[in-house]
């Protein structure tokens, strides 16, 4: 039996790539990458010279078979995504399930992910939280927001910068203007920013900007939380 390594990569700051992650990637026969070109830069930077193949949301059903063939031939494989923890709003789950079902060892090399980094930075309760990832863009979005408004744990949502203002409007409508929240932008990068306030304050802050750029995590206090 072989080992399927699931390896976290930095969410912006290369200094967050762990020595164990580098060691692991140097030890395997193949590296499955969400985007071979994006990962190529990271691998080159750390002197990792291995055979790669693409494994992304649009081909993972097809590529799981390829991955299993390698594992079944007694060769170890590692999976990395463009940033952070594979499987967290990234490909990973299908591969982990398939490798488990075939009896291979799963070994996760933990590291950064944007959700927990933002959660801890938000100053909102992090003893219990609910990870939503990306909300559906259209179908079911409003219903989902209505359900999430009732959640009493801190909520973590991934959002693109060009949809942030729309999301803030929706949060105000479903969660109420006074619910506490935070926006974490460009975590671990040069222009890292954490804004914290009520939904209406955060909406005012971002509405006043000429443009909103970078990667964003939205954290919202659970229903009933007050300070
Ligand atoms: N697998 C990743 C993880 O472990 O967090 C998430 C991948 S998902 C495709 C990309 C989303 O994660 C972005 O749209 C943003 O919401 C969030 N994200 C990733 N890096 C970030 C960063 N440096 N700062 C803020 N948000 C980030």
Is 140 found in the same domain as 190? yes
For a pocket test of ligand 1, which of 11, 17, 167, 220 has the largest count of ligand atoms closer than 8 A to its C-beta? 11
Domain-ending residue, one of 109, 126, 155: 109
For a pocket test of ligand 1, which of 215, 218, 220 has the largest count of ligand atoms closer than 8 A to its C-beta? 215
Is 131 found in the same domain as 45? no
Is 103 found in the same domain as 122? no
Q: Name the pTM for this structure.
A: 0.97
Ligand 1: residues with CB < 6 A are: 11-12, 81, 83-85, 88-90, 113-115, 158-160, 184, 186-189, 215-217
227 lies in some domain: no
Question: What's the pLDDT score for residue 130?
Answer: 98
Interatomic CA distance for residues 169 and 174, integer angstroms: 9
| Cα of 82 from ligand 1 centre, angstroms | 9
| Cα of 103 from ligand 1 centre, angstroms | 31
Helix 93-101 / helix 60-72 crossing angle, nearest 10 deg: 40
Is 49 found in the same domain as 27? yes
| Residue 186, Ramachandran bin (φ over 0: left; ψ between -120 and 50: alpha; else beta) | left
Domain-ending residue, one of 76, 109, 142: 109
Is 148 found in the same domain as 119? yes
Running along the chain, 227 residues long, what does each successive block of 10 average in pLDDT? 96 98 98 96 97 93 94 97 98 96 97 98 98 96 98 98 98 98 98 98 98 98 96
Domain-ending residue, one of 82, 109, 136: 109
For a pocket test of ligand 1, which of 39, 57, 83, 116 has the largest count of ligand atoms closer than 8 A to its C-beta? 83
| Contact call for residues 197 and 180 (beta carbons, < 8 A) | yes
Q: Buried (b) or exposed (e) across 62-80, using 16+ Cβ within 10 A?
A: ebbeebbebbeeeebbbbb
Domain that holds residue 38: 3-109
């Amino acid at each position: 039996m072989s080992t399927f390594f699931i390896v976290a990569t930095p969410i912006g700051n290369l200094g967050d790539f762990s020595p164990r992650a580098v060691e692991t990637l140097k030890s395997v026969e193949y590296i499955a990458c969400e985007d071979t070109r994006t990962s190529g830069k990271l691998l080159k930077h750390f002197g990792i010279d291995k055979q790669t193949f693409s494994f992304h949301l649009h081909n993972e059903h097809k590529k799981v078979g390829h991955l299993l063939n390698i594992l079944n031939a007694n060769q170890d494989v590692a999976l990395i995504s463009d940033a952070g923890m594979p499987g967290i709003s990234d490909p990973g789950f299908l591969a982990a399930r398939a490798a488990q079902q075939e009896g291979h060892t799963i070994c996760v090399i933990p590291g950064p992910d944007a959700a927990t980094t933002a959660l801890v930075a938000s100053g909102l309760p992090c003893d219990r939280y609910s990870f939503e990832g990306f909300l559906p863009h259209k179908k079911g979005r409003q219903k989902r927001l209505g359900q999430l408004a009732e959640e009493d744990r801190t909520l973590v949502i991934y959002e693109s910068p060009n949809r942030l203002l729309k999301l803030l409007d929706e949060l105000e409508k479903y969660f109420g203007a006074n619910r506490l929240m935070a926006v974490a932008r460009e975590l671990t990068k040069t222009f890292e920013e954490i804004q914290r306030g009520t939904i209406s304050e955060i909406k005012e802050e971002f509405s006043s900007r000429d443009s909103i750029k970078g990667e964003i995590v939205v954290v919202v206090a659970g229903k009933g939380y007050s300070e």
